[in-house]
Structure 1
Amino acid sequence: EVLHGIDMEIKQGEVNAFVGPSGSGKSTIARLIDSLWDPDSGMITYGGVDIKKLPLDYYMGQIAYVAQDNYLFDMTIMENIRLGREGATDEDVINAAKATGCHDFIMGLENGYNTEVGGSGGHLSGGERQRICIARAMLKDAPVVIMDEATAYTDPENEALVQESVAKLVKGRTLIVIAHRLSTIKDADKIFVINDGNVEAVGTHDELLGHSLLYKSMWEAHSMAKDGADDSEGFAAGKESKYA
């Protein structure tokens, strides 16, 4: 049993963050919410309805999941983005890429949207692959977005661009983010501290610094490890302007 007595509420339109040690259960909760896995007990509700009672196609259409290891298929960029919504036109795909700030970099490639990405997207950098996956999520146009450490393996030169794409993707949507750098989520509406399969504490950044020893120790460790780079423009930083 990985999780124990999890009880949480995700409110519409808010930025929610899951933090905690590696292996604490953060990604497991995200996958359960996305219906990738079924809970052994208890239930997950959406709009007050048990998701098992909702049509699968409907519920899957409500959530866009952007993982740290999103997969690109050995086809063109156009075809990879189009996977976000069946029947999408070329114009729809291009608009999604423009909306997430991907269009210019795609057009800078020799074959533009007809560029073959190679097996697992091997012809592109990590940041470029992730931005295409974000455009795919934008095309899906789901009201809930789950970001599972979406910039964990992004090359440094693309990280700021990926975060800009993320900000455009999540604007006006409910966001659930699992972040490995706490500074990217310190302005979240609600932070869930997950430890050993339990929700150990819930609150804002300031609240948790006051009553969660684990969160405080994680924040202090993160602050000491920072190398001086400015990563304040993260998932929740500037929330008022990015998510309004």
Structure 2
Amino acid sequence: RENIRMGRPAATDAEVEAVAKAAGCDAFIRSLEHGYDTVVGGGGAHLSGGERQRIAIARAMLKDAPIVVLDEATAYIDPENEAVVQQAVGRLVAGKTVLVIAHRLSTITGADQIVVVNGGRIQDVGTHGELLKNCPLYQEMWRAHMGAKEGEQA
């Protein structure tokens, strides 16, 4: 509870639990030995990577900042948690300005604007469709991404 409440220290227990539900945390939190009062260790050491990310999303939802920066939001989670995290991120960013830093291209395909960076320089800017048409580097990255996804499913 207190880990999530760091997003807004004056939040009520009901507000904390509401954002936990929206972030997909409520069920696993309630299954912990002491529920919302469980001590999870420094940096959430007793939680999985996906659970830690959902707690961080709940904290950000509680903060309700107008600008959200997501740095590799789905990079280190297992496929079971990825869908839950992506749904939670969708709820987090609704109506906000979002900056997403990602190597996993499926994370950004719906972005209004994608900036392709190569060697610290902007290579191209556009939507997913525009970049697939006009940016050889993005085309190459997309092919590699899709090939990696197919390899995961094999």
Q: TM-score, normalised by structure 2?
A: 0.90
**Structure 2 counterparts to residues 47-58 of structure 1, below 5 A:** none
Kindly provide the amino acid, as one letter, of the partner of residue 46 in structure 2. H
Equivalent in the alignment of 2:19 = 96
Match of 1:227, SS state, is: helix
Match of 1:223, SS state, is: helix
Q: Deviations over 1:35-81 (max 9, x none)?
A: xxxxxxxxxxxxxxxxxxxxxxxxxxxxxxxxxxxxxxxxxxx1111
Could you tell me how far apart the structure 1 residues matched to 2:4 and 2:23 are? 12
Equivalent in the alignment of 1:148 = 71
Residue 114 of structure 2 is aligned to residue 191 of structure 1: yes
Residue 31 of structure 2 is aligned to residue 108 of structure 1: yes
Deviation at 1:99, TM superposition (A): 2.1
Kindly provide the amino acid, as one letter, of the partner of residue 177 in structure 1. V
| RMSD of Structure 2 on Structure 1 (CA) | 1.7
Could you tell me how far apart the structure 2 residues matched to 1:199 and 1:168 are? 29
Equivalent in the alignment of 1:37 = none
Query: Larger % of helix: which?
Result: 2
Deviation at 1:228, TM superposition (A): 6.3
Equivalent in the alignment of 2:94 = 171
Deviation at 1:229, TM superposition (A): 6.2
Higher relative contact order (CA 8 A, sep 6+): 1
Report the count of equivalent residues. 153
Equivalent in the alignment of 2:133 = 210
**2:59 aligned residue (128, 136, 139):** 136
Match of 1:88, SS state, is: coil
Contact in 1 for aligned 2:74/2:107 (Cα 8 Å): no
Contact in 2 for aligned 1:125/1:155 (Cα 8 Å): no
Runs of 4+ in 1 over 4 A off after TM superposition: none
Gaps (5+ residues) in structure 1? 1-77, 231-244
Identity %: 63
Could you tell me how far apart the structure 2 residues matched to 1:92 and 1:118 are? 23
Could you tell me how far apart the structure 1 residues matched to 2:131 and 2:42 are? 43
Q: TM-score, normalised by structure 1?
A: 0.59
Could you tell me how far apart the structure 2 residues matched to 1:187 and 1:125 are? 27
Contact in 1 for aligned 2:20/2:58 (Cα 8 Å): yes
Q: Deviations over 1:119-147 (max 9, x none)?
A: 22111111111110100000001111111
